Amino acid sequence: MRNSSKDGICVVLGRFQPVHKGHAFLISEANVWRLKNQKESKLVIAVGSTNKPQNLLNPWTFEERKVMLEASISELEIDAEIIGIPDIDDPPNWVKHANKFHGENGVLFTSDGPTGDIYSDAGWDVIVIRPKNRDKLVGWRVRETMRMMSTIQDTDAVKSVLGESIQKSVIMSLIETGALRRLAFMGEGGEPVG
């Protein structure tokens, strides 16, 4: 490994729109690696696109995603720092920009090849985690299922359906804050299905 050291950081980066079980798996795997290889390192969960307007692609604010992540890591019994990073829509310069927020000299954990490539090109160590059920745990698919469930008043039914892809603690945070219900009133149509 090129950059990792005892004082380096372990970073999990994502939009987390919403926090789903694929993210929980990635965070868990990053934490297991950190505890085994760099116990003194801090685990940082970096939430991207914090400056994007709310729409069906980005329905939740940074603060709402932070609440979801706090519920997730609490359920997982993981200690991590959660930070936000505004997007600059400039992939070649993303890592230089992101370093100002999450720090430098670390290991990135990702399930996304292009993200891993830009971090690797910038001198970071990258560990690619292949999540289970990747075909089902895709952001747009989870969001559309959530949107369909956003008008259902039966909390047990919502937990049952969404529990396939989202941790129960995260579902409850979405229900309690009204962040799930809001999906029913966001825009016309849905995301492209395919």
Domains and CATH numbers, the chain: 9-128 (3.40.50.620), 139-185 (no CATH)
How much is the CA Rg of the chain, to the nearest whole Å?
17
Give the pLDDT of residue 188.
Answer: 57
Is 193's pLDDT higher than 70?
Answer: no
What's the pTM? 0.90
Q: Per this entry, what is the length of the chain?
A: 194
For 74, 143, 162, 173, the CA distances from 182, given in Å and listed in that order, are: 24, 12, 16, 13
For residue range 70-93, what is the model confidence (pLDDT) as tens digits?
999 999 999 999 999 999 999 999
Is 30's pLDDT higher than 80?
Answer: yes
Label residue 7 by pLDDT band (50, 70, 90).
Answer: low
Give the pLDDT of residue 137.
Answer: 79
Give the pLDDT of residue 4.
Answer: 41
| C-alpha angle 185-187-190 in degrees, rounded to nearest 5 | 105
More confident residue, 134 or 71: 71
Average pLDDT over residues 29-55: 96
Is 1's pLDDT higher than 70?
Answer: no
Specify which residues 125 forms β-bridges with. Answer: 107
d(CA 148, CA 157): 12
Please give the full DSSP string across 106-132, using - where no structure is assigned.
EEEEES-HHHHHHHHHTT-EEEE---T
- Computed over every residue of the chain, the mean pLDDT equals 90
Give the pLDDT of residue 140.
Answer: 87
Give the pLDDT of residue 134.
Answer: 66
Average pLDDT over residues 39-66: 95
Give the pLDDT of residue 105.
Answer: 81
Among residues 140, 168, 137, 143, which one has the least CA distance to residue 155? 168
Among residues 136, 123, 138, which one has the least CA distance to residue 14? 138
Average pLDDT over residues 35-53: 96
